[in-house]
Amino acid sequence: MRDAWRLATGTLTAVPVAAPRAVTPAVARSAMLLAPLAALPLGLLVAGIGLAGRELGIPLSPLGFVAVGALAAGSRALHLDGLSDTADGLTASYDVKRSLAVMKSGTAGPAGVVAVVVTLGAQALALGTLFGSLRGVVLAGVLVCLSRCALAITCARGVPGARTDGLGSSYTGTVPRAATVTVWIVAASVAGLVAPVPLRGVVAVALAAVVVVALVRRTVRRFGGVTGDVFGAAIELALATLLVVAA
């Protein structure tokens, strides 16, 4: 379990941790299931910015952008890179090899830039709205953590990998489907408890799951499977959905 914690924390956050002794399928599975808890430092970071900004009287919209920037730094912008690469791959070509090559190149094309700008803008404005109340600040931090539940879908058994190498290859297909469903049921329960309007929290989680499933289905059809970039894109899109619906 210690290796799983190290893997989840070291991969999903900028918190310095020791490297896991080995990355076995069991460790990878546990790491993906622990992802929402491993993201707790990021949730606390966003909630802390919301609280501090309210005390200092910072306008809410700029405060939302500050929180998004801090969140990107706290995750080393890894998920945003995945979002950009996935958008570029989906729009580059219908040829699988060409699309995967574009994703692996590391450069950001027009589609990737637009995807990042729109997604970050939606997240920032929604965070600004949530920061308008103390309960909204807490909810914002919780939703940051719950967005990492997206990995339980991207890594679910039955979802193929598009490559045999790369960051995502160690995690693909490691999470049992029953565990995936359980993770999202728990996420909906938590959101319902924290949200000022319980039903809105549950709906936010449900819609986020739909968005991630749609992304996975699309990438499997286009690329033949998922990649580490798709994992990052799923997290960012899940977060945007959660925040916008909750706000």
Task: Give the integer Cα–Cα distance in Å for 78 and 73.
Answer: 9
Task: Give the integer Cα–Cα distance in Å for 205 and 182.
Answer: 13
User: How many other C-beta atoms are found inside a 10 Å radius of the C-beta of residue 182?
Assistant: 13
Q: Domain count for the chain, please give it.
A: 1
At residue 167, the pLDDT reads 65
For 180, the domain range is: 2-246
CA dihedral of 110, 115, 118, 123, whole degrees rounded to 10:
-150
Per-residue pLDDT of the chain (247 residues; tens, 9 = 90+): 888 889 889 899 999 888 888 788 888 899 999 999 999 999 999 999 999 999 999 999 999 999 999 999 999 999 999 999 999 999 987 888 887 888 887 788 889 999 999 999 999 999 999 999 999 999 999 999 999 999 999 999 999 998 877 666 788 999 999 999 999 999 999 999 999 999 999 999 999 999 999 999 999 999 999 999 999 999 999 999 999 999 9
